[in-house]
Amino acid sequence: MIRNDDPTRRRVDLDRAEALRLLAGVPLGRLVFTRQALPTIRPVNHVLDGGDIVIRTHEGAALTSQAQQVDGTGVVVAYEADSIDPDTHLGWSVVVTGYARLVTDPDELARIRGLLEPWAPSPGMDQAVRIRPDLVTGVLLTETGGTAGKPG
């Protein structure tokens, strides 16, 4: 059993570059956005592209309509991904907050379709959303003096 007061464990804040490097190394995360004035969470796969998080979606998705707002600012979202061992509780977690915008350029959309195959493909998954990370936070859950839980 893991004790919460175990002095051999520590939490280390990650800098932006390391947090994004770790995020780029996993294929799945959770997208958080507002739907009908309430928080909604969806598991999605992603790629990092030019420092942005890119996901695929379909035209009828709630996020798709919000991300194409007329003023061009997009919609505020959060994106979280992690890799935490269920037995040792060691690993890392990264949360990104930023604006999500619908990708509308046909050439960019075609390039993204080649980079990212949806993990649950369905008819109409032809749209993509780009999330520009404004706030990036991350934590490493590790042991003191050891390499267990060290990000790879």
Helix and strand element counts for the chain (H, E) = 3, 8
pLDDT over threshold 80, residue 91: yes
**Residue 145: its pLDDT value, please?**
67
The token duo for 130 is: 């780009």
Distance CA 98, CA 22 (A): 18
pLDDT tens column, 2-58:
455 667 889 999 999 999 999 999 999 999 998 888 888 999 999 999 999 999 886
Report residue 62's pLDDT band, with 50, 70 and 90 as the boundaries.
low
Q: Where does the chain have alpha helices with state H?
A: 16-24, 62-67, 106-115
Nearest to 110 by CA among 96, 127, 97: 127
* Least confident window among 2-6, 75-79, 124-128: 2-6
**Domain formed by 10-143, architecture:** Roll (2.30)
**92-96 mean pLDDT:** 98
Going by the DSSP 8-state scheme, the letter that residue 114 receives in this structure is H
Nearest to 102 by CA among 120, 138, 77: 77
Across the strands, what pairs with 92? 83, 140
pLDDT over threshold 50, residue 72: yes
Classify each residue of 5-15 as buried b or exposed e, where b means 16 or more C-beta atoms within 10 Å of its C-beta.
eeeebeeeebe
pTM assigned to the model: 0.82
**78-99 mean pLDDT:** 96
Pairing of strands 91-102, 9-14: unpaired
**Residue 67: its pLDDT value, please?**
59
Report residue 77's pLDDT band, with 50, 70 and 90 as the boundaries.
very high
How is the chain split into domains, by residue range? Answer: 10-143
